[in-house]
Structure 1
């Protein structure tokens, strides 16, 4: 038998990402479909898989290939067609089916990929089945997947209306004050989901929202800008439009619309930590009102304000490593009501512990629309500290650079841990000294260290940021 190919550059720790026609072809997608059946679906007693795809031109034929692999192994397929990733998670949860979403999220136009889940949107990652999918798919690229005695069948189901109605049931918006909302869809999936969920295109009643669309035309070549709101350059058009139209709020979604970034009425970017505070407090209040004991997950580079404010409100904040597989695992383990990440991913217990940019956006609209203050004023209390944002540094040796930082900053008067990289924290009571913290994490794939720092004041943050960077980059 010919040696099986190495698919580690294609099937990564959390998902599949590759260049269409190069590393990601129809035969590869077919092998992955068959491997998903054999490694995940059939061993767990599954018989049917939901498949959706985003707006990239390669999405339909890649979905065809995945479906071919699944049906060859005797698994039925429900094709839900064009959808956001959280739309696929909704299908997985509502239909109690494993799912495959064909998407490359925020990656450039030449890419596509897949996100996989078990039934009820449970994650499939490196340590929860994806390594087995990778190994099996590699084998099926050199030997034909065995044909089941009875091949699977295919059916189609349009779920956009059900998706919109379900999200509205989680966050009702019909009673809010009128709001003017600019949405930048980046020619990606929010151009399909926003009119359905926040508008009337899926047959739902109108809401008191005036939606001003930017780049709603679906176009997987991304002719206006990449669908990556973590890159501040992609937010410039939205910021200008919010100011031009005198809008109450701006919303930016990534390619598969599972992440959301918020712009206030001044055109300023609202940090995901601030949104984590806002939504976490809303979900905490709701859980307490029903007699529950709320737990909220946040990754370790979220603002310190997140844990302070949630704890003060009666929640139990729990720190997670960076990465959606870690936060999803903690969400399920602790039955957490909500989880937030610095990257704009927000997770909801009532959405099968999965992430949804749309639900997060709806929470912000609901909070804004049930009081009279502008967004910036409403959020001031949730953003008391100053953060550096993530700063990458190339280094000759990651272990040596980490050792330098540890030697320079880990002293008797600080807290430190190595839960995920190195975190160092000096945060006394107010008035008892300088308050700052930083985290330095290595990249999984490159000789990089990623610095995130925060302090109680701009000057102090800049000073500590520069001190840490000097140590990282010395030599």
Structure 2
């Protein structure tokens, strides 16, 4: 017998719960009722009745309303809500870690204005994915939508708190920027939460001592309609204004944050984008050197499988152990906790720090870059070139309706020329000897769309382009 069809409310809820978070169009599944039910279900899943739950939100028009609805559901199940208001996602990680409390952040990150969502954490900023609790939250919330929320014997309360100053001070304690050389930095906040956090961390808005930086602000006004461009620095079109401004102002570098300011992209003095793998290698080296100086011998660093080959080479060259992982926010957080890695880097500009409860923090990565660059002379493009010796394609998406057929075409074309592994998607590593330039590529299906994502790296631009074009021809055949 087939199970009964879910109610319309439950079906809409199921559609917005993704692999690592909740994400959807406001009013379509993501409603006050569904959010209130999710708040109640979250308290049940993390066993927070009688304990604190942190709730923060970004600048999207719907975020304050949803945060209040979530608090209603959470307090009905007996949790005390610490409402930290407007904040970046990594501020909620800070609150979760420093308070030892589970947290929910209302944001749709880099998605357009019509979207919103929720990122959940257990106490200590531990990520929650579909496999580690999010499915249970979804199912409980569905029950509450259909049957009503059962009130706990004692309702919780709501306490409002501002953690920005403590967050900024904590980041300053992790990376000392007081002695770097003076620098002019253009920062594009994309009308997102970087407009709040950058003045606090890199300026004196939180009451901290001034740093030797001249900050040129772009789009610091908090505006969830994103009137200037989408807050998605992964799309090169959204970097154009920053690239132009860096050159026009004669700046030393530029920083671009996404909507919830947990990712940071770096632009050099010529307006060129610094590859996130180079940032990962720079930060990895600094973190390895720091803990080795403190007497730590067994050091590991995480990188996902589509970062540049130079990242694990850098880690090994510094005497540490590279740990290769699949792509995915919560997956890497889990691996940070399991391995005790000091740092983790992703190709998508997510950077994870053991000293930040294993969570990702784009601002902290930017501070490491500023510390490294600011301690030496020369240009950022020169420094970045040292950490980008190979040619990368960047991620290329293709609409594919039959993924197995595309895989078959690739395997047939490269059999005898490469090794294959299916650790995450299909990775193809060229069988080259020392006289030939190396190459590898990975193809992975999207979790949410009929897309295949291709990443290619080669020892030089010509090798990379040849493999890229061949594989795209096979994918799109």
TM-score (norm 2): 0.96
Partner Cα separation in structure 2 for residue 77 and residue 59 of structure 1: 16
Q: Distance in 2 between matches of 1:423 and 1:317?
A: 18
Pairwise CA distance, 1:405: 0.6
Structure-2 change in CA distance of 1:3 and 1:319 (3 Å)? closer
How many angstroms apart in 2 are the aligned matches of 1:455 and 1:96? 44
**Residues in 1 aligned to 2:104 and 2:176: alpha-carbon distance in whole angstroms:** 29
Which residue in the other structure is 1:205 paired with? 209
Partner of 2:153: 149
State the distance in 2 between where 1:3 and 1:434 align.
Answer: 54
Match of 2:235 among 210, 231, 237: 231
CA deviation string 1:98-145 (max 9, x = no partner): 001011101111111110100010011101100000001111111111
SS of residue matched to 1:86: helix
Counterpart CA distance in 2 for 1:387 and 1:153 is 51
2:275 paired with 1:271: yes
1:23 to 20, 25, 29: 29
Match in the other structure for 1:434:
437
Aligned residue for 2:120, secondary structure, equals strand
Deviation at 1:460, TM superposition (A): 1.2
Q: Contact 1:299–1:321 at 8 Å: present in 2 too?
A: yes
In structure 2, the partner of 1:172 is 176
Identify the match of residue 385 of structure 2 among 368, 380, 396.
Answer: 380
Deviations 1:40-90 (A, max 9, x none): 234xx7611011100111111111100000000111111111100000000
| Unpaired segments ≥5 residues, structure 2 | none
Q: Take 1:177 and 1:2, find their aligned partners in 2: how far apart are those partners?
A: 64
Residue correspondence of structure 1 range 296-335 to structure 2 within 5 A: 296-335=301-340
C-alpha displacement of 1:329: 1.2
The residue aligned with 1:40 is 46
Name segments (4+ residues, structure 1) moved above 6 Å: none
Q: Evaluate the alpha carbon distance shift between residue 219 and residue 327 of structure 1 in structure 2; reply closer, same or farther with a 3 A threshold.
A: same
The 1:23/1:296 distance shift into structure 2, 3 A limit, reads: same
Q: Contact conserved, 2:264 with 2:362, CA < 8 A, in 1?
A: yes
122-131 vs 322-331, greater mean Cα deviation: 322-331
- Residues 1:62 and 2:66 aligned together: yes
> Any conservation in 2 of the 1:248–1:375 contact (CA below 8 Å)?
yes
What is the correspondence of 1:19-418 to structure 2 with a 5 Å cutoff? Answer: 19-42=25-48, 47-292=51-296, 293-411=298-416, 414-418=418-422
Matched, 1:424 2:425: no
Query: Tell me, which stretches of 5 or more residues in structure 1 are unaligned?
Result: none
* C-alpha separation in 2, matches of 1:386 and 1:41: 48
What is the CA distance between 1:410 and its match in structure 2?
Answer: 3.0
C-alpha displacement at 1:346, in angstroms? Answer: 0.3
CA contact (8 A) 2:50 2:156 kept: no
Partners of 2:378 and 2:108 in 1: CA distance: 38
- The number of residues matched between the two structures is 470
1:223-257 C-alpha deviation (Å, 9 max, x unpaired): 00000000000000000000001101100000000
Is 1:460 the counterpart of 2:466? The answer is no
CA contact (8 A) 1:176 1:366 kept: yes
RMSD: 1.4
**Does the CA contact (< 8 Å) of 2:110 and 2:260 recur in 1?**
yes
In the TM superposition, residue 434 of structure 1 has moved relative to its aligned partner by 2.7
SS at match of 1:354: coil
2:17 maps to 1:11: yes
1:3 positional shift: 4.6
| Alignment deviations for residues 144-185 of structure 1 (CA, whole Å, 9 cap, x no partner) | 111111100111111100000000001110111101000000
Counterparts of 1:427 and 1:88, CA distance in 2: 45
CA contact (8 A) 2:397 2:451 kept: yes
Q: CA deviation at 1:427?
A: 6.2
Q: 1:427 to 1:327 in 2, by over 3 A?
A: farther
Quote how far apart the aligned CAs of 1:422 are.
Answer: 1.0
Instruction: Check conservation: 1:427, 1:434, Cα contact below 8 A.
Output: no
Cα distance, 1:395 vs. partner? 2.3
Give me the whole-angstrom Cα distance separating, in 2, the residues matched to 1:221 and 1:448. Answer: 27
Instruction: Tell me the TM-score normalized by structure 1.
Output: 0.97
Paired residues of 2:50 and 2:80 also in contact (CA < 8 A):
no
Shift of 1:429: 5.8
Query: How far, CA to CA, are the matches of 1:349 and 1:222 in structure 2?
Result: 33
Secondary structure of 2:15's aligned partner: coil
Deviation (angstroms), 1:445: 2.5
